[in-house]
């Protein structure tokens, strides 16, 4: 029997929590608006060739065939076969420490990515459902509502959601600019810290991404040394999100904060925490696999307790433990993936250069940092937003404007290149070149 609801009078609005009605999620950012535009009119080579090409998604598909090949050759990794006892054991597994075999495999994989220059203890690996959960969980542990983390700009637009929305923690920007290739300077650090103090905001830590998203650039050793000295002098934490560490085009060009600590005999290491995930390097965002690696015993213990809200399925752990424990596979994957990403990066840089567009010289990641400031009608955020709307509406390319990354200089854009085929990238570059040709003739 149908239930009739009397709607003669408008229903009284029912109150919700502060989190539910908060605007700190960041969903109104152009970063997410571009995704919506793509979802409404997605490019397809045969079905919708005039659709929007998604260049705002940092996803790695260039080496997915290697993962597929491994699974074809190792069916036992993704199935239980006749081992009913193994199925039962994993189906009933609920320990929020995670499978020891997977934590060992993850620690080993992180060491391989860093060329064996840093060691990781599986007992300090805390598993989370992706890097998003890892960063939020760490923020809950390190800071109270109203406190702040210092984050260098430009930064990943999702941090506005990940670090602020549910935690109540603020982000105070460390303003970096093109004069220093957007590297973090000692003066910028001090200015950000003093700015927070002037607003009576307690700073609890610095959060960096290394390699940087959106810059596609590794942080220099000297900068990391200075960061460690800075957080030690202020008695605050350092979170290093190294989710793209395996996507550096050459292993020697990446220095992990773990290497710096090891060289210092782990002095002051209790304030350092590393975030990692398999979403980017291994191209498995749908598996939701992230880790927190902390040198602080209390943080490890608390993070493990809190990870019960963000667990990874035991079947996923079982599969990936098998994959990452295969040394032949991981060595080949890491090397091949680096080479393919470098080739793809060179392809987009050359294509943009042909159109007369310059980019920040990068050495990592799934994107480039493109400078379109000469095209701005006015050197302002509004001018950048107007140009972005033209590229999205006329050229049918979704790229991420610098303002969504809180870049202090208008005219910079993040352009992703690894989430599509080379053929689609060629079409995207052709569209950009045609757009630039029209602009130059106006």
H helices of 92-145, where? 100-113, 130-142
* Catalytic one of 53, 243, 274, 349: 243
Contact 411, 371 (CB under 8 A): yes
> Does residue 280 sit in helix, strand or coil?
coil
Contact 275, 127 (CB under 8 A): no
* The pLDDT of residue 94: 63
Task: Characterise 411 by phi-psi region: left (phi > 0), alpha (psi -120 to 50), beta (else).
Answer: left
**Is residue 191 among the annotated active site residues?**
no
> Does residue 16 sit in helix, strand or coil?
coil
* Catalytic one of 193, 280, 295, 399: 280
Q: Which residue is it, tokens 């599969």?
A: 319
Contact 140, 306 (CB under 8 A): yes
- Measure the CA–CA gap between 116 and 209, rounded to whole angstroms: 21
**216, β-bridge pairs:** none
**Is residue 156 among the annotated active site residues?**
yes
**Is residue 280 among the annotated active site residues?**
yes
**Is residue 241 among the annotated active site residues?**
yes
Q: Quote the strand ranges of 134-180, DSSP E.
A: 148-152, 170-174
* Catalytic one of 241, 281, 295, 345: 241
**pLDDT tens, per residue, the chain with 442 residues:** 555 655 566 667 888 888 888 887 777 788 888 888 889 999 998 999 999 999 999 999 999 999 989 888 877 666 554 565 566 666 666 666 788 889 999 999 999 999 999 999 999 999 999 899 999 999 999 999 999 999 999 999 989 998 998 999 999 999 999 999 999 999 999 999 999 999 999 999 999 999 999 999 999 999 999 999 999 999 999 999 999 999 999 888 899 999 999 999 999 999 999 999 998 988 888 889 899 999 999 999 999 998 888 888 888 888 899 899 999 999 999 999 999 999 999 999 999 999 999 999 999 999 999 999 999 999 999 999 999 999 999 999 999 999 999 999 999 999 999 999 999 999 999 999 999 888 776 6
* The pLDDT of residue 23: 80
Contact 321, 105 (CB under 8 A): yes
Q: What does DSSP say about strands 237-241 and 272-277: parallel, antiparallel, or unpaired?
A: parallel
417 Cβ partners below 8 Å, 6+ apart? 55, 344, 345, 347, 348, 366, 367, 368, 425
Contact 433, 348 (CB under 8 A): no
* The pLDDT of residue 10: 64
* The pLDDT of residue 365: 92
Task: Characterise 396 by phi-psi region: left (phi > 0), alpha (psi -120 to 50), beta (else).
Answer: left
* The pLDDT of residue 319: 87
Q: Which residue is it, tokens 């260049």?
A: 55
- Measure the CA–CA gap between 167 and 232, rounded to whole angstroms: 24
């Amino acid at each position: 029997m149908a239930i009739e609801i009397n709607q003669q009078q408008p229903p009284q609005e029912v109150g919700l929590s502060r989190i539910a009605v908060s605007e700190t999620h960041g969903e109104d950012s152009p970063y997410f608006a571009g995704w919506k535009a793509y979802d409404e009119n997605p490019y397809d080579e045969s079905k919708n060739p005039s659709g929007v090409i998604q260049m705002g998604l940092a996803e790695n598909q260039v080496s997915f065939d290697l993962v597929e090949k491994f699974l074809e050759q190792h069916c036992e990794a993704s199935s239980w076969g006749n081992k009913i006892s193994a199925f039962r054991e994993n189906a009933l597994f609920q320990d929020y420490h995670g499978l020891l075999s997977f934590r060992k495999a993850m620690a080993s994989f992180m060491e391989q990515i860093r060329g064996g220059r840093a060691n990781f203890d599986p007992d300090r690996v805390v598993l989370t459902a992706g890097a998003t959960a890892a960063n939020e969980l760490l923020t809950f542990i390190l800071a109270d509502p109203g406190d702040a983390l210092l984050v260098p700009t430009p930064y990943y637009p999702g941090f506005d959601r990940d670090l602020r929305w549910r935690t109540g923690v603020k982000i105070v920007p460390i303003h970096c600019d093109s004069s220093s290739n957007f590297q973090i300077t000692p003066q910028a650090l001090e200015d950000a810290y003093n700015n927070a103090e002037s607003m009576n905001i307690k700073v609890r830590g610095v959060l960096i991404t290394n390699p940087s998203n959106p810059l596609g650039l590794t942080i220099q050793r000297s900068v990391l040394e200075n960061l460690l000295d800075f957080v030690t002098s202020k008695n605050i934490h350092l979170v290093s999100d190294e989710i793209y560490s395996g996507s550096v085009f050459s292993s020697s060009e990446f220095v992990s904060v773990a290497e710096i600590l090891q060289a210092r005999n782990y002095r002051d290491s209790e304030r350092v925490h590393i975030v990692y995930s398999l979403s980017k390097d291994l191209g498995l965002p749908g598996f939701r696999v992230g880790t927190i690696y902390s040198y602080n015993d209390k943080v490890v213990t608390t993070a493990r307790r809190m990870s019960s809200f963000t667990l990874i399925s035991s079947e996923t752990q079982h599969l990936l433990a098998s994959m990452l424990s295969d040394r032949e596979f991981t060595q080949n994957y890491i090397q091949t993936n680096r080479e393919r990403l470098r080739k793809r990066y060179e392809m987009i840089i050359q294509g943009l250069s042909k159109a007369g567009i310059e980019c920040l010289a990068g050495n990592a990641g799934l994107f480039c940092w493109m400078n379109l400031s000469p095209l701005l009608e006015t050197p302002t955020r509004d001018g950048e937003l107007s140009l972005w709307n033209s590229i999205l509406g006329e050229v049918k390319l979704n790229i991420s404007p610098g303002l969504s990354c809180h870049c202090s200089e208008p005219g910079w854009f993040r352009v992703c290149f690894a989430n599509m085929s080379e053929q689609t990238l060629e079409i995207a570059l052709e569209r950009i070149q045609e757009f630039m040709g029209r602009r130059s003739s106006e």
